[in-house]
Chain A
């Protein structure tokens, strides 16, 4: 981890520069206010829509008895998928000791936390009786995959928060000593979060050890959240959901979704936080390669999920696949498969495409593809039950989310982005101490900065 230590004077200057660069966005960065205004506007619209939904019932949505889960549930799956990137980057890549990932680990954790929290929230938006939420704890039944989901998601939130907070402790110690003149509440926060860290060897050892343990622990939990999420569908007898590979299919699909989101986040932070020296083209190259790898894995699962039943065309499977391949969902299906999966794989094989701007565009397509993919996993299956749908109004038989659902879903997305924005505003977006060490700042420089005085 420790590179060649620099000469004393140079090291001092470098450390000062790193601190200035990484702490600068905390006081100002470009377009912050405008971005907050945009998010707030979406949020207010969503709040109004949700108020009406609470007042008049879920009947204001386009969901009905046949398609009784819609955009909310598919967005829930999407959120859980995106949040898996925290585990992938900071745990898997970290444990594999992939060089140069330090500047992007915290961004991955922030995405994970923001989205997994909203995954929990959007389930509540989908409930017919959110006032009875406590029933889940009062009368919870261990047989229900929903109860499993609540358990693993809560665990994932806790471990992700710990993985965010632990490497933050030395940073907070540095900030505590550096920003003595900041507003009182801010100093208070630094003080509390630095947990009295003073750079003692035992303190460092505890942090390293617990980070390592948590990095290992989060892997099964992350697999757990998305596997259990897939089981919400796979545990039913419905055509299109009744699949034994749904767990790995969902987990594999979560990786490109999260890595795509990562590419967007890297581009945005690099530019608006002015961090070109830290988030370099090498990082985009790495994320690009990771996107190819994970997308190939997902393509393999897609092949299994669609080709195997598609070859046999059993009655009910056949109707379902026809609807996806050539029927009313064909446009969505092929858009998702081509622009969200196949084209990104092909394009990213070229080095030119793994530069920041192309990565942003590809990231956007992958994320939109991932969002729509969740939708065509949820809705078409429900539109086609085993028995014919009769004696109900026409609009029961088809589903397309209406304005209320879009508004509330966009609201949930904007809360996730707001959490991300605010967290990235109050804590340094990269672990300052780790960056400093990697860049060759001398240990004693850091010791000095940690000292509790």
Chain B
């Protein structure tokens, strides 16, 4: 009797051990998918080495020459572009609500019509003041409320001032959306417009978009990497956007390609930032909507109702 009992407990123990083992294996599996480590496929591919030999390697290790892998893109994406401090100046006196910026942005980032990285808002500060249009991208704050609250470092601030999102890491808790006072962040509530395929995920473009993760304006970090202007700035027909490097103290107009001193542009035109009382220290500056050469017109209306701008 006693012996039988012992045997039973031994067997139970082994069973428990097996279950634990399987559990940890499953755990390891989960970890490896999270970190993007590819499992061996077991299939071999023949490759030609520089000295003319034909070798066999597991297909999971194959990598096209010159092509950046996801890890490469992540690594440089998290660091930022050395020595830069990007800034944008939005001249509200030029904005006529053409919305080319929104279109260019949505197409580059594969966004649905209701998803905006940049959104042109009809604004009016008080009842008697004049209405105006205000493009609103992410402010790329120097004291970003969003990156502080992220539990997994999926959204982060780079050395060049850009706030990015790693949608390979984002857990979709949406704390950053709650924390952002500029409502600059969006969420992929369902399947994105263009589904994820075998393209490498570029953290500087946030494409392909992924379901259940957050997205937002990236200052077109991928364009900056290629020394080009952001998508919105180059698409604008009205010269609204100035973009450049605060370290160089120079910004270039996306439409006219004219380059001016950042500090002088801000000083001479009474530049300001949005909601400065919140202490977020935006990298986006606005020039006031004065001396406009056109009428404000929103679907035929020349002024806004109280409930439309608050």
Contacts and interface: CB of A to CB of B under 8 A. Distances in A.
Interface residues of A, number: 51
B145 interface: yes
Contact of B171 (A136, A236, A385): A136
Given A64-B189, A388-B310, A140 B151 contact: yes
Contacts of A319: 310
Contacts of A141: 150-153
Contact of A133 (B102, B171, B187, B213): B171
Given A56-B190, A127-B171, A144 B34 contact: no
B177 A65 contact: yes
Contacts of A238: 178, 181
Interface in B128-158: 136, 145, 148-154
A65 B187 CA distance: 6
B121 A58 contact: no
B70 interface: no
B182 A386 contact: yes
Q: Considering residues A126, A146, A319, which has the most beta carbons from chain B within 10 angstroms of its beta carbon?
A: A146
Interface stretch (B59-67, B82-90, B112-120): B112-120
Given A135-B34, A236-B145, A387 B182 contact: yes
Given A143-B148, A146-B151, A385-B181, A65 B171 contact: no
Contacts of B191: 56-57
Nearest to B179: A236
Interface in A119-142: 123, 126-130, 132-136, 138-141
Nearest to A381: B178
Interface string A364-406: 0000000000000000001001111111110010000000000
Interface string A60-71: 110111101100
Q: Considering residues B178, B179, B211, B213, which has the most beta carbons from chain A within 10 angstroms of its beta carbon?
A: B178
A128 B178 contact: no
A139 to B, nearest CB: 4
A59 interface: yes
A217 B114 CA distance: 50
A232 interface: yes
Given A144-B150, A232-B175, A385-B181, A65 B308 contact: no
B182 A146 contact: no
Contacts of A59: 189-190
A386 B170 CA distance: 25
A147 interface: yes
B152 A129 contact: no
Given A63-B189, A64-B189, A66-B183, A128 B170 contact: yes
Interface string B173-216: 11101110111011111110000000000000000000111100
Q: Considering residues A56, A143, A391, which has the most beta carbons from chain B within 10 angstroms of its beta carbon?
A: A391
Contacts of B149: 143-146, 235-236
Given A129-B212, A132-B169, A386-B182, A68 B177 contact: yes
B151 A382 contact: no
A68 B212 CA distance: 12
B224 interface: no
A385 B152 CA distance: 25
A237 interface: yes
Contacts of B280: 237
B183 A386 contact: yes
A64 B190 CA distance: 10
B100 interface: no
A59 B190 CA distance: 5
A315 B174 CA distance: 26
A136 B173 CA distance: 11
B153 A146 contact: no
B13 interface: no
Contact of A128 (B30, B34, B122, B174): B174
A57 B116 contact: no
Contacts of A127: 171-173, 212
Contacts of B172: 58, 127-130, 132
B175 A146 contact: yes
Nearest to A66: B183
Q: Considering residues A136, A138, A232, A386, which has the most beta carbons from chain B within 10 angstroms of its beta carbon?
A: A386
Contacts of B148: 143-144, 235
Interface in B18-51: 30-31, 34-35
A147 B123 CA distance: 38
Q: Considering residues B116, B171, B278, which has the most beta carbons from chain A within 10 angstroms of its beta carbon?
A: B171
B68 interface: no
A128 B182 contact: no
Given A64-B189, A68-B178, A315-B310, 8 more contacts: A65-B189, A69-B178, A128-B187, A128-B211, A132-B169, A132-B170, A235-B148, A382-B178
Interface of A: 56-61, 63-66, 68-69, 123, 126-130, 132-136, 138-141, 143-147, 232-233, 235-238, 315, 319, 382, 385-393, 396
5 contacts: A59-B189, A68-B178, A134-B34, A144-B175, A146-B173
